[in-house]
Amino acid sequence: MTDVGVWFVGARGNIATTAIVGALAIARGETATTGMVTERPPCETLDLPDVGDLTFAGHDIRNRSLRDAAERLEAGGGVPSNDTIEAVADELETIDERVCRGTALNCGPRVRELADGPPLEADRSVAEIVERLRDDYAAFRDRHDLDRVIVVNVASTEPELSNPKRYADRAAIERAIEADDRELPASSLYAYAALADGHPYANFTPSPGSSLGGLRELAVDEDVPHTGADGKTGESLVKAALAPMFAGRNLRVMSWEAHNVLGNTDGHVLEDDRNKAGKLASKGGILDGILPEIDHDRVRIDYTPSLGDWKTAWDYVHFEGFLETEMKMQFTWEGSDSALAAPLTLDLARLLSHADERGESGLQRHLASFFKAPVDVDEHDLSRQLDMLSEYVEERTGERPGEPLPSPEARTD
């Protein structure tokens, strides 16, 4: 059995709290694994670490306890239930002690306002912050005698970088760290610290994370798997399933309006246009990839505090068929934001652990179905993305006739 640690960046947030409570509840047999992709075919045939055996820790810039975070979720949206929180309360307290102070470098004022006390950058250079993050990951690994630590970014969305090309290669990133370049975003510092020491990294947010050219190079150099960006959980998931239908039937989509309203802290942070820009870009990219001829494709995101952790999306599709006949389609999606996202973070941790154990490094393109903006993947059709995952699993389990099993050293990058 491999001992795997999951390090959540944004550990006291809604997704991380829901994932931790959920994994602890699964371990106790209190709840089922519904919503986890790795618990059904094809992934269930892979030799993955058990959800109930994962060890949790993380970084955050807020001090509230995990129990408090879980109780606020329950009060605002009913998930997780009070009974579930009560059942895992002692373990939450233990995990609380493993949450370290993080950095909010270049995250924008909306995110900095969340911080209780000074984040790491208040009294440290960029190089010192990176050093500290590396020490935090290493201490977790050593203290719990873990075979590997998977870093999963579920921190608040950062503003877009004005010039990501500045960090196009590893040397440029390392020079920037040494030169105390305070435009480097926190998500990329966490990613650098992880990849430099061989910890696999998943970016569940639209923030830059490991997508910078220099970090992709670092992942290949250090033989570490990584993946991202921006989990595909609600309206964009439906869109990625539905848009190929219009394309396949040669129905010309003229307009696709998508209006999302949500009431949690994520929604509050996205009220700032600088933080919202990255989210709009990754949501908007889905239709560009599937319906390139579309005339009008707009996504709106609005903060409606009374909705708490529930997200409602209303999509309106105006399309044309045979004999220039105009038709319309609408759908409404109402989801518990964190209950949709949390199981996917556990899936990603398990799948990255598996890849790392097999020596697979670089971008894990077969995980595209998990993301709105999969790095370096142009395919946005959900069913084709799921085929990529199935093919990967079949190759690893030898179920693909005629396909040789790749050696553990084989790189995916």
Token pair of 113, please?
């306002």
Q: Which residues pair with 362 in a beta bridge?
A: 225
Token pair of 134, please?
């590396």
| Contact residue for ligand NAD among 5, 6, 7, 12 (CB under 6 A) | 12
The pattern of x and - marking residues 146 through 185 that bind ligand NAD according to CB under 6 A reads --------xxxx----------------------------
The pattern of x and - marking residues 248 through 287 that bind ligand NAD according to CB under 6 A reads ----------------xxx---------------------
Using CB under 6 A as the binding criterion, the count of chain residues that bind ligand NAD stands at 34
User: Residue 6 or residue 253: which is nearer to ligand NAD going by CB?
Assistant: 6
Token pair of 207, please?
């923030």
| Contact residue for ligand NAD among 337, 347, 356, 381 (CB under 6 A) | 337
User: Measured from the CB of residue 121, what is the shortest distance to ligand NAD in angstroms?
Assistant: 10
User: Residue 128 or residue 391: which is nearer to ligand NAD going by CB?
Assistant: 128
Residue 225: what are its φ and ψ, rounded to 5°?
Answer: -80, 145
User: Which one of the spans 9-17, 131-139, 212-220, 325-333 is the region binding ligand NAD (CB under 6 A)?
Assistant: 9-17
| Contact residue for ligand NAD among 37, 99, 107, 291 (CB under 6 A) | 107
Binders of ligand NAD in range 338-377 (CB under 6 A): 338, 340-341
> Is residue 391 a contact partner of residue 400, using CB atoms and an 8 Å limit?
yes
The pattern of x and - marking residues 216 through 235 that bind ligand NAD according to CB under 6 A reads --------------xx-xx-
How crowded is residue 234: how many other Cβ atoms within 10 Å of its Cβ? 21
User: Residue 84 or residue 205: which is nearer to ligand NAD going by CB?
Assistant: 205
**In the complex, residue closest to ligand NAD by CB:** 13
| Contact residue for ligand NAD among 48, 111, 173, 287 (CB under 6 A) | 111
Contact flag: residue 205 with ligand NAD (CB under 6 A)? yes
| Contact residue for ligand NAD among 51, 104, 176, 219 (CB under 6 A) | 104
User: Measured from the CB of residue 271, what is the shortest distance to ligand NAD in angstroms?
Assistant: 12
User: Residue 42 or residue 285: which is nearer to ligand NAD going by CB?
Assistant: 285
User: Measured from the CB of residue 401, what is the shortest distance to ligand NAD in angstroms?
Assistant: 36
E strands, 159-241, in order: 201-203, 225-228
Q: Tell me whether residue 317 is exposed, middle or buried, using C-beta atoms within 10 angstroms of its C-beta: 0 to 12, 13 to 18, 19 or more.
A: buried
User: Measured from the CB of residue 207, what is the shortest distance to ligand NAD in angstroms?
Assistant: 7
> Is residue 50 a contact partner of residue 36, using CB atoms and an 8 Å limit?
no
User: Measured from the CB of residue 154, what is the shortest distance to ligand NAD in angstroms?
Assistant: 4
Token pair of 141, please?
């690994």
Angle, vertex CA 68, rays to CA 65 and CA 73, nearest 5: 130
Q: Which residues pair with 55 in a beta bridge?
A: 5
User: Residue 9 or residue 26: which is nearer to ligand NAD going by CB?
Assistant: 9
> Is residue 49 a contact partner of residue 4, using CB atoms and an 8 Å limit?
yes
| Contact residue for ligand NAD among 114, 149, 367, 382 (CB under 6 A) | 114
The DSSP line for 14-64 is: HHHHHHHHHHHHHHTTSS--TT-GGGSTTGGGS----GGG-EEEEEES---
Distance CA(164)–CA(209), nearest Å, equals: 11
Direct distance between the N- and C-terminal alpha carbons of the chain, in angstroms, rounded to an integer: 28
Distance CA(169)–CA(174), nearest Å, equals: 9
Neighbour-count burial for 154-171, b at 16+ CB within 10 Å, e otherwise: bbbbbbbbeeeebbeebe
**Closest to 49 measured CA to CA, from 353, 314, 394, 286:** 353
- How is residue 258 annotated by DSSP? E
Binders of ligand NAD in range 34-63 (CB under 6 A): 59-62
User: Measured from the CB of residue 403, what is the shortest distance to ligand NAD in angstroms?
Assistant: 33
> Is residue 259 a contact partner of residue 309, using CB atoms and an 8 Å limit?
no
Binders of ligand NAD in range 297-326 (CB under 6 A): none
Residue ranges in contact with ligand NAD by CB under 6 A = 9-10, 12-15, 59-62, 102-104, 107, 111, 114, 154-157, 186, 204-205, 230-231, 233-234, 264-266, 337-338, 340-341
